[in-house]
Structure 1
Amino acid sequence: MRISFDWLKSIIDIEKSAEEIGDILTSLGLEVEGIERIEKIKGGLKGVVIGEVVECVQHPNADRLSITKVKLDAESEPVQIVCGAPNVAVGQKVLVATIGTNLYPKNGESFTIKKSKIRGEDSNGMICAEDELGLSSDHSGIKILESNAMIGQSASDYLKLDSDIVFEIGLTPNRSDATSHLGVARDLAAWYKVHEKKDKIISIDENDLKLPKSNNKLNIKVSVLQSDLCPRYSGVSISGIKVGPSPVWLQKRLIAVDQKPINNIVDITNFILFQYGQPLHAFDVDKIKGKEIHVRTIAEGTEFTCLDGTLKNLRSSDLMICDGNDKPLCIAGVMGGIDSGVTDSTTSIFLESAYFNASSVRSTSMHHILRSNAAKIFEKGADPNMTIKALLSAVELILKECGGEISSEWIDIYPSEIKPSEIQLNMNSVNSLSGMSFTEESLKEVLQGLKIDYTDHRNGDYTVFVGTNKADVTREADVVEELCRVYGLDHIPIPEKIQISFPAEIESTHEVRQSLSNYLSSKGFNEIQTLSLSSSEVCLKSNIWKQEELVYINNTSNANLDVMLPSLVIGGLQSISFNNNRQLSDLAFYEFGKEYKRTGNEFVEKQKLGLFLFGNNRSVHWRAPKVSSYDFFELKSCVEDLLNYLGLSGYKFSTSSNNELFNYSSEYTIGKNLIVSFGEVSTQLTQLFDLKKPVYYAEWDIVSLMSVLKNRKIVYKEVSKFPSSRRDLAIVLDNSISYNEIETVIRKSASQNLKDISLFDIYKNAEQLGADKKSLALSFLFESDDHSLTSQELDQEIEKLIQQLETKLSAKVRR
């Protein structure tokens, strides 16, 4: 929320600096996140003053330069300035940029005035032209002022260059009372009352506006059919107005709070919104059919074109402002329609000032992704007793700036008056909840500063009456919070001894994630971090996820990102596509994140680790002229390396045919825990990201991984002192037998002396080996922990392996 310092000072008398006020606002719970200076001329002509040329002679070394003496104040000696303007002369009042001044010319870069020598003569400043000051593009000569200009006066004061300071406030949802300049001014008045014992008058709070009389020529009949959604509806008609540009003062006010001036009627409604925190809406009377307003909900699916041109399908729960034919004119409290607003040809308006149900406005605004200023105020809880006051102020401005006359009765439909909240307050509870030591005097002082009426029951009990502008203050604890922020949180005493209790240790994945990150980064992977949001359109087009599985959200920032990620693969593919489109096509990524799925009425959230391989695993080099692309086995190797790095054993390999994420895939399990699934990503999915090459992806389940790591036992084993021996074996067997089956048979039948198995060649030739046969060349590494293995022992080991392979897999040894 933006708050203008000048605007604030027009409401409450402030003698402190902007920085001091910023600190006070933060202490009051209105955290100032930034302070911005708004200047009509960049730099505000700081350092530029009015001077008088008292001497002007020709420069001895330049035909087009003059040496001038300029008096900058009544007491000091004139300063010498070399000037190149053709129109400089004695007696002129001019604008002088003194040494150290930063100038921002109309054209060109900024520069700083320095003491210098020009053609051998000292120059201690600069007599400026309009373009050099940024006032205009005129460079015909220096700017000459009126003869009555005061020497030494700052240029900004003389030219009346307005500047303002804007506070950027991070407004929390519970501060419905501070959505406007009036609300902020009230908080400042309370602070002054408590901390400096000053009674500050809020000028617009003191205004006693009376309802002006009407000629009743343009009465509008209003019917509120759903008073629970619209507890109060006020309005009035004004005819004979002239729509045009707003006055300069009004435009400046709106620009300061980041609003674009549109026309005088719309700008006045926006001004009232930021002044009082009460949204208004102006309808063109000629577009209200039947001269009737119906406040009601309408049929589900009714189409409505908003003021910003977007088409919305309304819900049956959306409150609408309709005409006499029940045609919707405006989404109540959110946004007007394109066919009912004020245009340049409008001559009569109906001005609405209403109080709408906060939850209803919030629901409608979020569902339709219409985050207007009005909706942001109503959803926090506007003040129901501000509608008439804001309406009167707006009417007064419209009559002054737009002409016209009041042409209808003052409408105020308010069937059940909303009164201040009556809350019981106990002195002991106040001190107990706050941790402070309030006295009866200090308590009353803060309540008076906040304009909260109270009844003192003389026994430490109070009944307080909290105004309707504080929608969130409904309990004793809420009142105590109000007291604390105004009285000052620095009054909370710090005890001499602070005792803390340590909570039970919570299992964290941080250490494992850090270890995996370090390992993967050392292996050439790059970590990515993508959004946890995705497009439902992409998910559904892939035919991998069904609509009922997706977790939909109402994303007001980007309507296309409407579901939570059902798998990390989507974010990874987006990153790969982004890089691939920028000629970075050899990629190895990893990402820690979560996947979100829906199962019936339950939402399932799982922690995952994703590995991605795409393109080539190395670039072409003179030592390796052949390109090597990533493939399934490269990914499988990475997965196994990671399992071994974690010190896991007993993992079981299997192929998987029911994982729609992949064209083909495999997985590793330990016991009943699925640790990782990996394979080539479904072509149907990669095509959605315009990826022509295959993407290889491994998805690790972090929860399953943590559960097996808990039971992991790391045992030190002494490195063998005896030499190892290697034996090779070539076997012929059916194509259908996988390497995993071969390794399983070998591991089960071999002794503890077998340390490693590796496959170093695959050969297929139907003529030599037979149909559907393959030859695998295996290398075995043997090593004993207590002696050197003899040739006889090695031969026995190999014979035993051959026997098992022939028996269980019908393998034949190639000799």
Structure 2
Amino acid sequence: MKFTLNWLKNYIDTGDLTPEQLSDELTMLGLEVDSVTPLFQDLAALKTGLVVSRENHPDADKLSLCQVQIGEETHQIVCGAPNVREGLCVVVALPGAVLPGNFKIGKSKIRGVQSFGMICSERELGLSNEHDGIMELPEGTRHGQSFIDSMELSDICVDVDLTPNRPDCASVIGVARELASVVKNPLSLPVSGATIPTNSSQFSVEILNPDLCPRYAGKLIRKVKIGPSPWWLRKLLISVGQRPINNVVDITNFVMLEFGQPLHAFDFDNLDGGKIIVRTPRENELKFSTLDETERNLDPEMLMICDGKQPVAVAGVMGGLNSEVSPETTTVLLESACFNPVSVRKTARKLNLSTDASYRFERGVDPEGTINALNRAAQLICELAGGEIVDDGIDCYPGKVEVPAITLSVDRTNTLLGLELTSKQVSALLESIGILCAASDNNSLIVTIPSFRVDIEREADLVEEVARLYGYNNIPTTLPAVNLSYPEQDPSRLKRLAICKKLTTLGYTEAINYSFIADKHIAMLGIQEGDKRFASLPLLNPLSEDQAVMRTSLLPGLLENVKRNINFQRPAVKLFELGKVFFPQGENEQPVEENRLAGVLSGNLYGEGAPLYYKHTPVDIFDAKGCVEFIIAEMNLGKVSVDCELHFRVPEAGQGDVYASEGYSLDLFYNDTKVGSLGSLKNEVLRTFAIKNKVYYFDLDFDALCGLQTKNIKFSSLPVYPSVKRDIALVVGEQVSAGQLLTAVQTSNDQLIEKSEIFDVFQGEKIPAGYKSVALTITYRSQSKTLTEKNVEKSHSKIVRMLTEKFGGSFRNA
């Protein structure tokens, strides 16, 4: 929205506000000022002159030799304008002046005659496209003066960037109303409180779509003489970037900028039947030529202004060629209406036609301001175009809405803003911009919302208005109360972060895959119907076939990672992923989400790029088992042992994971609840994923593990006395597991045993068939003294005797 300071002062006394102060005040009111620009500074060097004599050029029929007086000097200037004459007041560019477009004026010789300057036309000055002759200044204009000062062009243009919710400020009066709250001066309106009848004997108005046109008013003006507008009107339009056309059109543009109400003038003699019908187009009317001489394709839902026969304008956007005001027009029908913002917005967008009128209608114009704008334009047409108003016109208002009233609590306003305003102060602030207030009980105000404020709908909007008018800079600054207590951490999240960090120390790399997988992935794992992982949740709009369903297992994504690594010549893979899996419920119900921790191992145990002295060792099931035991230990859940709550079980035939190789899988149980599994993937499954290398996996229910009770960690000081190690090599039957031997040692309650470990299991030609050799190392330490050989031997003998008696083994020296 552009306006000039001189124009603004017609409606509000801005007092001593400088342009910079005015800009700051508007910005703080929420009307951000983009620029404050002095006008016509490129014309500062031009002077006013008086043509004291004119003679024909001695060597050119169409040129005149003029003597132009500028102050005390007289200059000879050759001019080719047909309207130059003696006694004419003109604009002169003397040698050295630069006209718009960087056109430099100098001394010249035209057809042998010296010319010392140039008499300018309006187009040469950049004021209009008029170039039929030189610009004629008003008679009596003093010569030798600055052109911009003499013609009162010295002004400042202010450009305000409006937000979509403030259509009331898309007018000079709207901006003046906002400034009234700052300068505390009354707003002066050229027209206010006007009404007109609902019918006329000269023309008729019919609204067939009242939902799209709540109000339509018109006035008939005869004996109009179309011609150029007076200088003051053209100057104002030029100052804000508008192109003057003729007096009637210029008046409608001027009033639109003044009131924010778009108007349109029809040539009444071209309206069939003297009728205005507001309706949508018929099937045979979907082609229409607008004022820009472009034929446009209409939609059946677009609102049109029609006469008794055909459309004559696109409602709220642009008039038509068939009813435009021309130099021959003598009778004008002036339109002032209110159209549905959504309808105008859709129409302008579909037609790719944005105008000043559609800009305002799209945001919402004041339905109660249509008559004021109509009367203002009618008065100006009578003054400037010699028109006569036939009667009071027509006001058709089927969409009248009651003015809303809102109760504003002063106490709540003060609480929200941190102020201590009284009811009178709040009322004064709101009434300064035309919002009427009436006192109510309980320290409240009954606020009547004016029709031009389409953005105010509730009490919170009024509180915002109070803050804006009081001044954001005047509201005291206070720091919010902040609770400095440390927020409680989610234990599961902390465990997740810890486990991910710990697994990377083992050489694993964390994978983060999409939660979407291909529908075929579940079948590729061999999962059959009846397994809860078989049914997956499909996506309504998947990115691709490979991301069509929500995953019910982490393994498909990890196996795709393994395949990609192998394809890129990186066969040594140790990956893990901790993420959600999704199990569908009933229709229109959210799926169940579970956190799983899964990993895959393949290739060399020591990874790619291992030192040459590291023997190539392929990973096996014990590496997967060791990783699971490491996870349990790091989560402080105790040990995984046959006699403990957490323990491994070899699944019975047909009871293990369907994708695990028979005899190469283990299930992890907590008591009788399965919380995970590990093993070797079947070759058939690997082939479906195009993987040729052996792959081992583990898959744990992380939510279940997080729900287990952790073991208490007790601090013990560093040992003072040295330890002693002894080894035991025991031959036992194949049915005895090494873990049973280890558990027996750990539960023997010998006070000197600090730690025990298995370091070898051997079967060979020196071991009888059906037997195996299990080697253990036991660490002995006393907390109170240094152990002697006798002390160690006594405890060690008891352990050997207990093992041989309990498991039927034979002791032999390792």
TM-score w.r.t. structure 1 length? 0.50
Larger radius of gyration: 2
